[in-house]
Amino acid sequence: MDELLKQAANIVSNSKMTIALTGAGVSTESGIPDFRSSGGLWSKYNPSEFATISAFKADPLKVWEMLHAMDKIVSGAKPNAAHIGMGDLEKMGFLECIITQNVDNLHQAGGSSHVIEYHGNSRTLSCLWCGKSYSAEEKRGSFPPVCECQQVLKPDVVFFGEMIPALAMNRSLELASSAQCLMVVGTSALVSPANLIPDIAKRNNAKIIEINMERTHLSDGISDLFLQGSASKIISALVNLIKNKGNKII
């Protein structure tokens, strides 16, 4: 692992543009289980009943049963060492942008300012009828949260059946086409359209560094380096190596 970490640190420190693609695995150490895991939301709430835009429009109160459970988990979560380390990489000039499939705002809380949110963010709510927006904190304690027009508010997350925001999609594909290094952290990159990013980056000769607890379909074909283990430990070690590179530790 030490040798792989050194190789990864050299790739990142020598790259003129590094981006990251992150998923649920980067936030599990903050106490947010993967929705698809045995303890995740989909084990309790059928996504076809609770997580589609048509379900929300038909019965928003029912959908808010799931959203309330999600909010209890997400609202109390704090950024872990992986979020903070990636924020440090950005501040040091070694990470251009994070493309995340998460809706928990933890990358921003960890210090990253350039974050593309594929699936939106749970920290704000909007009214589908009049367009007014609120912070989730502003409406905390209300169940369900209601707009001043008396319609039930929807969190600004992308439900099944909704399109990925065009700006997020276009910018992420542009970055993937021009990156020299892509870090894939805490995601199997199976869900479309995020699964396009590693392929596009690889076709454009980017080095792919994968950090996951388990091997994925990327590990043996697309990834140049596979670092297996905790995202927080590996990212922290990577940041320390890059910081010390000037002292010839690498």
Give yes or no for a contact between 82 and 237, defined as CB atoms under 8 angstroms apart: no
In terms of C-beta density within 10 A (0-12 exposed, 13-18 middle, 19 or more buried), how is residue 167 classed? exposed
Biggest CA pair distance of the chain? 62
| Residues assigned a catalytic role | 119
In terms of C-beta density within 10 A (0-12 exposed, 13-18 middle, 19 or more buried), how is residue 135 classed? exposed
- The pair of three-digit structure tokens given for residue 66, joined into one six-digit string: 């799931």
Containing 123, the helix (H) or strand (E) segment is strand 120-126
| Alpha helix stretches (DSSP H) within 36-157 | 47-50, 53-58, 60-74, 81-91, 106-109
